[in-house]
Amino acid sequence: MGCCSSTASSQQPVYGHTGERRDSKDADQAVKLVQQIFSQEDNLSNMLDLHISCSNLPNLDKMSKTDPIAVVFMKENGSQEWAEVGRTEMINDNLNPQFVQAIQVKYMFEERQPVKVDVFDVDDPKTLNDLSKQELVGSSEFFIHQIIRAEKQILEVALKNPKRPNCGNLTVWGETLETKESASLVYIDFEGRNFRSGKRLFLKIFRAVDVDSQEMVPVYQSEVASISSTYVYRWKRIKIGASVLIRDDPSRLLGFELYEWVSNGSHKQLG
């Protein structure tokens, strides 16, 4: 573990526009003014985590189901061009995906911030970075303030695509981040016993949207584990930030669900 240090010398004079030396009081006032400006900017913005899910997506695959991924775009700094700000994970064979990966955006209180969410069917995971090689399921455009003003900050909109009439629905929940995220990490180990041989199992972890709520949002999904010769399931150690898992609040309710993986996407919840 190393350490960092910095030193500030007070030997250097501070100059104004005319080159004269200012006293320390004027310098302190200048620093306070800059701090106030940045503080005002911070007070006019907030960070949001966008949690995305879809329902009733059309099935675009012949031999299986749609493999959806959601990509979020915004027009930033006055630009008229859409720029990608984040994307979810891809979920195999699922027409009602509830994505784990949240998209973090900056909400500016006094600005109209357009957002576009494109949902794609991934045809080849090897070309995931090239969206032109994926099939567009549907798209939806809205403004950040529509999420903020929606009941419980949950916005439900229809996905649209001129190539097909019914594209399903998009739900976006905006979670306001009240405090800066900490660097604390949580490690969790799981194992399963006394399951029938041949099952392939995975875990999901959910977090309550707030302290007093029973509504849950997914924050983690494990890999699929197969049973060992000793009839014990073991998953990789989970390493997750405390800010993601519990929003740095030990009283936040957590939920754990166990699923049997099924190749067609209709995974069976076991408990």
The gap between the terminal CA atoms of the chain, to the nearest Å, is 42
Tens-binned pLDDT, residue by residue, of the chain (271 aa) = 333 333 333 344 333 444 444 555 555 565 455 444 444 445 677 888 999 999 999 998 777 788 999 999 998 777 789 999 999 999 988 899 999 999 998 888 778 889 999 999 998 888 888 888 999 999 999 999 999 899 888 999 999 999 988 999 999 998 887 656 666 888 888 777 766 666 788 888 888 877 777 778 888 888 887 766 667 777 888 888 777 787 777 888 888 888 887 776 678 787 7
The set of residues, in sequence order, having a beta carbon less than 8 Å from that of 95 and lying 6+ positions away, is 55, 56, 57, 58, 59, 65, 66, 168, 265
Task: Supply the pLDDT for residue 238.
Answer: 84
Under DSSP, the state recorded for 113 is -
The sheet carrying 83-87 orders its strands as: 83-87, 68-74, 114-121, 135-143
| Apex 203 CA angle, 177 and 103, nearest 5 | 30
Q: Which residues on adjacent β-strands are paired with residue 173?
A: 51, 154
Provide the pLDDT for residue 192.
Answer: 75
pLDDT score recorded for residue 29 = 60
The Cα–Cα gap between 156 and 148 comes to: 12
SS3 state at 171: strand
Alpha helices in the chain (DSSP H): 24-43, 144-149, 242-246
| 161 secondary structure, DSSP code | B
The DSSP code for 32 is H
* Encoded tokens for 129: 């970075």
